[in-house]
Structure 1
Amino acid sequence: MSLVAFLGAIETGLIYGLVALGVFLSFRVLDFPDLTVDGSFPLGGAVAAVLITHGWPPLAATSMAVCAGAMAGSVTALLNVRLRILHLLASILTMIALYSVNLRIMGRPNISLLMDPTVFSWVEQPGWPARAWMIPSVLLGVVIGALVLVNLFLASRAGLAMRATGANPRMARAQGIATGAVIVGGMALSNALVALAGALFAQSQGGSDISMGVGCIVIGLASVILGEAVMSTRTMILATLACILGAVLYRLAVALALNSDALGLQAQDLNLITAVLVAVALVLPGWKASVVRRLTRRGAPANGRPAP
């Protein structure tokens, strides 16, 4: 794998780390299967791209994209909480609606940002070598900031209420927690992170496309599962860190597969690679547990006597 491909995989992996963090909040913390991600990711890119092309500062455009993502997540939660629509179906309805919303926002299937300023413009001036290292460094700073803020929130009173709602909503209601409001807030935060990732992705790739969110939920889930398989998740800090690590490892695995001459894979094989990686990520925890059990049995004393 070339240096360009490696740094590109790190860059994309860090962006999808924000997606994995949002998916972790909805699936793991809130226990809310949310497919809105496939719509809120391109929503963030669409809002940021349109506002930038209309003269907005990139930071302000990115902030508005985050707000748009939060609104999308809130709509999904309200469909579930207020209208009593099944959470999975509510997220599918929002995802389908967001496709038309994104087209309406952009006015066309894609928008180019190659000639417009972005949040990365200040690191693109020195030339290729600086840009190749600086953009992943900037994204690393953004991801670390998001990681710290999410963990501070989860350790706060509101965050503990959200964790309690996901673990046992009936008990949470018995303790006086407004579970409906907690779900709305949690889904807003989850999709705000995903929309932030979409806005950063559009600016790093030089444009926004209506189809750039296809399979985003699969990537997010694969990143969460892969991260949980390769490192301990005993604490919330480690669990959120595992999401970021899983996303980076996922993109590195994809880049390695596409750049391997022995495998002979091409860009059109991306969905096949994704399916294989997701399958491996799903099976890996079971294999890991099986190996641990076998090692434990071999080391266990037989008939009360220490093993030789």
Structure 2
Amino acid sequence: MSLFSLLGALEIGLIFSLVALGVFISFRLLRFPDLTVDGSFPLGGAVCATLIASGTDPFVATIAATFAGAAAGLVTGWLNVKLKIMDLLASILMMIALYSVNLRIMGKPNVPLITEPTVFTILQPGWLSDYVARPLILVVIVILAKLALDWFFATQTGLAVRATGSNGRMARAQGVNTGRMILGGMALSNALVAMAGALFAQTQGGSDISMGIGTIVIGLAAVIVGESILPSRKLVLATLAVIIGAIVYRFFIALALNSDFIGLKAQDLNLVTAVLVTIALVIPMLKRRLVGKKGR
């Protein structure tokens, strides 16, 4: 595999590590099976691309996309908390609605950004090529996002969010407004996903209505792979594991699709994903069995 392919895999892996962090918040911390991700990812891309194409500053467009994702997560949480719609069904309803919303925002199936400025073209040093500069910029963004999450979930509000997911009844008994915590957690989760969508649109040269298909699968795969590589109950290590999982996942995908002797093609992406997730799920089980046999 060429250096260009490796850097490309690193770039996409870093972007999807933000998705994985969002999925980690909803699935692991809140215990909320959120499929809104498949809609909030392209929502971020749609808002960002449309604003940039209309002349808005790329940084402002990216921030606006992040807030749009937070609003989508907030609506999903509201459907569940206030209208008492089952969590999975609420997220499916929002995911379906966002398809039409994204089309409305863009006004067409895709918005090109090839000739438009992006956060990467603005921050890119003149002496660095774009395929080297983009991963470096993304590393900084991901590190800042991780540090911010680690800090937030160590605060009183963050601990209340975690308590809501771990044991809602106990949290309510301690005076925690669990409904509000779910709303906040869902907003934060989808804000990260939408930010990833905005950055993805800027690296890929545009936003497309179908760019969100399978996002939740990739996010879950990254979480599962990361947890199998670095299993830990400490939040600081858990968020690090999720980021590592996203990068490792993309590297394995790139390796599989670029290995001629395997014979895989781009349309085999979902098959490779299924195999990787299966392996990641089986490895911890095999480890437990081996430990059990040694204990005997």
Per the shorter chain, which TM-score range? over 0.9
Measured in 1, the distance between the counterparts of 2:287 and 2:209 equals 39
- Deviation sequence 1:260-290 (CA, Å, 0-9, x none): 0110111111121122112222222212222
| Match in the other structure for 2:96 | 96
Quote how far apart the aligned CAs of 1:295 are: 3.6
Measured in 2, the distance between the counterparts of 1:293 and 1:5 equals 41
Structure 2 residue 263 is matched with structure 1 residue 264? yes
Report if the CA contact (8 A) 2:221-2:277 is conserved: yes
User: Which letter does structure 2 place at the counterpart of 1:22?
Assistant: G
- Deviation sequence 1:127-151 (CA, Å, 0-9, x none): 7x63222110100000000000001
Report if the CA contact (8 A) 1:53-1:113 is conserved: yes
* Seq. identity, %: 62
| Match in the other structure for 1:181 | 180
Measured in 2, the distance between the counterparts of 1:294 and 1:258 equals 37
Note the 1:88-167 alignment, pairs <5 A. Answer: 88-122=88-122, 126=126, 130-167=129-166
Task: Give the RMSD, CA atoms, in angstroms.
Answer: 1.2
Measured in 1, the distance between the counterparts of 2:227 and 2:5 equals 25
Note the 1:46-65 alignment, pairs <5 A. Answer: 46-65=46-65
User: Aligned to 2:129, what secondary structure does the other structure show?
Assistant: helix
Mark the CA change 1:123 to 1:264 in structure 2 (over 3 Å): closer, same or farther. farther
Normalised to the residue count of structure 2, the TM-score between the two structures is: 0.97
**Worse-superposed segment, 51-60 or 227-236:** 227-236
Instruction: Return the index of the structure with the highest Cα Rg.
Output: 1
Normalised to the residue count of structure 1, the TM-score between the two structures is: 0.94
Measured in 2, the distance between the counterparts of 1:87 and 1:220 equals 18
Structure 1 regions of 5+ residues with no counterpart? 298-308
| Match in the other structure for 1:302 | none
- Deviation sequence 1:42-69 (CA, Å, 0-9, x none): 0000000000001100000000000000
Structure 2 residue 273 is matched with structure 1 residue 274? yes
Report if the CA contact (8 A) 1:47-1:65 is conserved: yes
User: Which letter does structure 1 place at the counterpart of 2:114?
Assistant: L
User: Which letter does structure 1 place at the counterpart of 2:272?
Assistant: I
Report if the CA contact (8 A) 2:30-2:164 is conserved: yes
Report if the CA contact (8 A) 1:123-1:130 is conserved: no
User: Aligned to 1:116, what secondary structure does the other structure show?
Assistant: coil
Quote how far apart the aligned CAs of 1:35 are: 0.4
Report if the CA contact (8 A) 1:223-1:244 is conserved: yes
| Match in the other structure for 1:220 | 219
Measured in 1, the distance between the counterparts of 2:178 and 2:233 equals 25
Quote how far apart the aligned CAs of 1:161 are: 0.3
- Deviation sequence 1:224-249 (CA, Å, 0-9, x none): 01000011313100001100000000
**Worse-superposed segment, 266-275 or 96-105:** 266-275
| Match in the other structure for 1:305 | none
User: Aligned to 2:142, what secondary structure does the other structure show?
Assistant: helix
Measured in 2, the distance between the counterparts of 1:234 and 1:295 equals 24
User: Which letter does structure 2 place at the counterpart of 1:31?
Assistant: R
Structure 2 regions of 5+ residues with no counterpart? none
Quote how far apart the aligned CAs of 1:195 are: 0.3
User: Aligned to 1:77, what secondary structure does the other structure show?
Assistant: helix
Structure 2 residue 15 is matched with structure 1 residue 12? no
